[in-house]
Structure 1
Amino acid sequence: MTIAALRYTFSDYTIPHLPPLKTWKEYSYHIQESSMRSAVNAETKINGFLTGGTLSNQVWVDLKGVYGLSDSRLSINTLGHNFISYCATAPTNFAKEAWLYRAQKNSIDTEIRFKFNRRLRNLHTLLSFIPHSLVHRVFDNSLESNKMLAFSEHLIQYPLALKKFFELPWADIVSLTNRTDTQFEQLITVLTPTERNLDPFLRRVKTFNREPERRLVFVASMLIAPTLDRIDHLGSSPLILHYPYNRFFIDQDLIRYLNHIGPYMVH
């Protein structure tokens, strides 16, 4: 059934003429395309450098281009230093990542803000295709939902396929996405010659890290960002679930994620 689900997903495209995959930075909505995988690892790298260590050229590229924490090689910028200062007292790893996303969103640096807004637009594209029937499954932080998100984000540049993907029964979605690297290789072997343009897509998914919670962290950070901005400005905030996150979460979810960061005045 897995190959049938894959074929259905791309059935609105002429596969031999499928547009080529874009580079990571052009369509992914998270920061995991970096070799460091997370803001927590970025913290470790920066602290190591500030205490006399050295970083590879790729890490410097990631710090500048992905995280916005460096101006150039051998130069941690103001955002980077502020991030490290916050990490020293941050209550959770979630808080560190949420802080960095908000800092990117509110940055006065136009390049940082542009890259962040591109990710946010692509996240909203993904959310717009998730049907109401699946809203309680896609963000329940189960292994199946995390792998589904890891797969579906690669479909953002193929909106017709994204729509078809979410038309599949949940069991077929799980059978397609909840796969090991070896199983993705097996799926590649059953492609017909006319389906070979799906090979790069499947290899991108196969080699991409599908670590639990990585996608949910970004979504949850954006869920609570308007509330945190309002609290910073007014000292407290009404409990409001903003669109499109109000389609997927309830008030208790918002409070739960706020509690990962600290006590806040919400009403």
Structure 2
Amino acid sequence: MSVAALRYTFSSYSIPSLPSLKPWKEYSFHIQESSMRSAINAERKINNFLSGGTLPKQVWVDLKGVYGLSDSRLSINTLGHDFIIYCSTASTSFAKEAWLYRAHKNSINADLRYKFNNRLKNLYTLLSYIPDNLAERVFNNSTEGNKVLAFSEHLIQYPFALDKLFELPWSDIVNLTNRTDTQIEELISLLTPSEHNLVPLLKRIKTFNREPERRLVFVASMLIAPTIERIEFTGSSPLILNYPFSRFFTEQDLIRYLNQTGAYMVH
């Protein structure tokens, strides 16, 4: 059924003339597809350098261009040092990544803010296509939900395909998206010559399908950001689910993610 589901997903496009695959960073909505893979790894590698260790060139490239924690090779910037200070007291790995996204949102660095706003725009695009009846299944941090999130991220550049994907029954969506690398290759082998424009997309999905729960970290970070900002400004905050996240999360979800970042005054 998976190849039929894939064909239905792209049925609004002429596949032989499908628009070219964009660079991942242009349609992604999170940052953890780098040589570090997570904020925890970024923390570990920065601490290693500050303790006298050395870092490969690609790590420095990602520290500067992806994480915004370095101004150049062999130089951790102010944001990087602030990040390390925060990590020393952060209660969870989620808190570290949530802090990093908020730092990008509020950075004085125009490039970091631009990249953040582009990620947020991409996330909103995805959220606009997920129907209410699938909201809980996509964002419940299950393997199936996370795989759907990881797969659908790559369709942000193909919005008609996003629309069609979420028209499918849940079982067909999962059958298409919850696939191993070997199963993605098997799916590619079932395509006809006229469908070969889908091959680069499927190979990209395979390459960037590791640890898909990292995508949920960004969504949850945006869920709690307004509440944390109100607490930091006023000392307390009501529990308010802001749109569009109010379509996908409950008040209990909001509390659960807030509790992963520290003790906050909420009511």
TM range (shorter): over 0.9
- SS at 1:135's partner residue? helix
> Conserved in 1, the CA contact under 8 Å of 2:188 and 2:199?
yes
Deviations, residues 73-95 of structure 1 (Å, cap 9, x unaligned): 11111100000000011111111
> Conserved in 1, the CA contact under 8 Å of 2:181 and 2:206?
yes
Paired with 1:25 and 1:54, the residues of 2 have a C-alpha distance of 27
Matches within 5 A, 1:47-86: 47-86=47-86
Greater alpha carbon shift after TM alignment, 29-38 vs 85-94:
29-38
For these two proteins, the number of residue pairs brought into alignment is 267
Paired with 1:37 and 1:165, the residues of 2 have a C-alpha distance of 27
Residue aligning to 1:13: 13
Paired with 2:189 and 2:143, the residues of 1 have a C-alpha distance of 25
Matches within 5 A, 1:26-41: 26-41=26-41
Greater alpha carbon shift after TM alignment, 33-42 vs 189-198:
33-42
Amino acid aligned to 2:243: Y
Paired with 2:213 and 2:23, the residues of 1 have a C-alpha distance of 23
What is the RMSD of the two structures over their aligned residues, measured on CA atoms?
0.8
- SS at 2:205's partner residue? helix
Paired with 2:230 and 2:34, the residues of 1 have a C-alpha distance of 31
User: How far apart are 1:133 and its partner, in Å?
Assistant: 1.0
Residue aligning to 1:232: 232
Greater alpha carbon shift after TM alignment, 31-40 vs 131-140:
31-40
- SS at 1:136's partner residue? helix
Matches within 5 A, 1:196-207: 196-207=196-207
Residue aligning to 2:155: 155
User: How far apart are 1:109 and its partner, in Å?
Assistant: 1.1
Paired with 2:90 and 2:135, the residues of 1 have a C-alpha distance of 30
Residue aligning to 1:252: 252
Residue aligning to 2:115: 115
User: How far apart are 1:20 and its partner, in Å?
Assistant: 1.2
> Conserved in 2, the CA contact under 8 Å of 1:30 and 1:119?
yes
> Conserved in 2, the CA contact under 8 Å of 1:24 and 1:33?
no
Paired with 2:136 and 2:174, the residues of 1 have a C-alpha distance of 15
Q: What TM-score, normalized to structure 2? A: 0.98
Amino acid aligned to 1:113: R
> Conserved in 2, the CA contact under 8 Å of 1:141 and 1:212?
no
Deviations, residues 180-232 of structure 1 (Å, cap 9, x unaligned): 10000000011100000000000011121331521111111100000000111
Residue aligning to 1:168: 168
Greater alpha carbon shift after TM alignment, 51-60 vs 167-176:
51-60
Matches within 5 A, 1:119-158: 119-158=119-158
> Conserved in 1, the CA contact under 8 Å of 2:151 and 2:209?
no
Residue aligning to 1:261: 261
Residue aligning to 2:45: 45
What are structure 1's unaligned runs of at least 5 residues? none
- SS at 2:145's partner residue? helix
Greater alpha carbon shift after TM alignment, 20-29 vs 2-11:
20-29
User: How far apart are 1:261 and its partner, in Å?
Assistant: 1.2
What are structure 2's unaligned runs of at least 5 residues? none
Q: 1:199 to 1:117 in 2, by over 3 A?
A: same
Paired with 1:209 and 1:62, the residues of 2 have a C-alpha distance of 19
Paired with 1:67 and 1:168, the residues of 2 have a C-alpha distance of 36
Q: Which runs of 4+ in 1 moved over 6 A?
A: none
> Conserved in 1, the CA contact under 8 Å of 2:98 and 2:221?
yes
**Percentage of identical aligned residues:** 76
Residue aligning to 2:103: 103
Paired with 1:128 and 1:33, the residues of 2 have a C-alpha distance of 23
> Conserved in 2, the CA contact under 8 Å of 1:94 and 1:261?
yes
> Conserved in 1, the CA contact under 8 Å of 2:70 and 2:80?
yes
- SS at 2:21's partner residue? coil
